[in-house]
Structure 1
Amino acid sequence: MDNRLQKAPLMRIFKLKVASDKLTEFSEIGQHNLTTSIAKEPGTLAMYSTSSPDEPSTFYIAEIYENTEAYEKHVASEHFQSFASFAAEHLTDRLVYQLHPQWLKEKAEAISAQGKDSLTVKLAEVDVKTESNQAFRDIVVKEMAAAMEKETGVLAMYAATLADNPASWRFFEIYADNAAYEKHRQTQHFKTYIEQTAEMVQTKKLLTLTADILVNQGGLFFDLFL
């Protein structure tokens, strides 16, 4: 599928904490919400439910919608309303990262993975020196474009900045497995990116997440500067 966007989509990452005795129910309701959404809502482009391997009750949810209209259609759906009702009662904490997409790309084949799949998911939080932000963007976009073109095991890469802090980046990446991720780290384009941005980065945090439910339409591409 080719899904090239001319306008920035709506993208957010949620950090949710679920009551420890409701984890199974959360997964079941979440699975129904995500899989139904991706099947019935063309404007729902990607939905990923992941969890922390160290904190099983902590979930990271990434969502991408084509536009506000697509999001509102999703929110009005019966499957989302069921999820929202559960969340209102059983979430113990909720943090939302409102994001400005910078560069997003998926392989053409749609992802549909459920139930502790072997796919490897990484979430990186990177704060960049303000004066270096544009140069950092140029370098990291070049690196991601090379990875998506040359590495079959790199399935999706998303780069976005916080809506209220353009120098605070979030990278959500999906790999075929851990071997594909390790292979990526050994590529020349990745090593060049690390070397060229070393003095630009203030802080960096990398999370390895458990893939619970990962679904997308496939073929998404967006570049803010095109």
Structure 2
Amino acid sequence: MMLRISEIEIHADHLDQYKALLKEEAEASVRLEPGVIAIFPLYQREDHTQIRILEMYADRQAYEAHLKTPHFQKYKTATLHMVKSLKLVDMQAIDAETMTRMFKKMKR
């Protein structure tokens, strides 16, 4: 599995438009791409311009395929001028077994 946290800062005057485009892209990715396990956007309560996205892919190939999809390309192109900073942080699960249980629990 490939895990990543995207740390993004958005220009405040584009925040509402950015959040709408991100929501659309995340939904399409999870719905249309079998290799996308989760794209879960979040923002900091104290500073809404600070966006974090938890990204979970079946593997590196699923991530590479995701980058080529029309919905991701639309998001990337449309939001480029809205992004003040972007940092991609690759992560490693400490306890993958509990993560599996978490997803099973969500299906209840």
Partners of 1:169 and 1:205 in 2: CA distance? 11
Quote the Cα distance in structure 2 between the aligned partners of 1:195 and 1:166: 21
State the 4+ residue runs in structure 1 displaced beyond 6 angstroms.
none
Question: Larger % of strand: which?
Answer: 1
* Alignment of 1:194 onto 2:76: yes
Aligned to 1:137: 19
Distance in 2 (CA, whole Å) between partners of 1:201 and 1:194 is 10
Aligned length: 102
Letter in 1 for 2:32: K
Q: TM-score normalized by structure 2? A: 0.88
Name stretches of at least 5 consecutive residues in structure 1 with no aligned partner.
1-118, 221-226
Q: Which residue of 2 is the match for residue 147 of structure 1?
A: 29
Instruction: Identify which of 42, 45, 49 aligns with 1:167.
Output: 49
Q: Hey, what does 2:65 align to over in structure 1? A: 183
Q: CA RMSD in A?
A: 1.4
- Structure 2 CA distance for aligned equivalents of residues 141 and 218 of structure 1: 24
Shift of 1:211: 2.7
- Structure 2's unaligned 5+ residue stretches are none
2:91 is aligned to: 209
The 5 Å alignment of 1:29-178 reads 119-178=1-60
Between the two proteins, what is the percent identity of the paired residues? 25
> Which of 1 and 2 has higher RCO (CA within 8 Å, sep 6+)?
2
User: How far is 1:218 from its partner?
Assistant: 4.4
Rate the CA distance shift 1:132–1:155 in 2: closer, same or farther, 3 A.
same
Distance 1:156 1:198 in 2: 22
SS of match in other structure, 2:71: helix
TM-score (norm 1): 0.43
Other structure's SS at 2:94 match: strand
> Larger Cα Rg: Structure 1 or Structure 2?
1
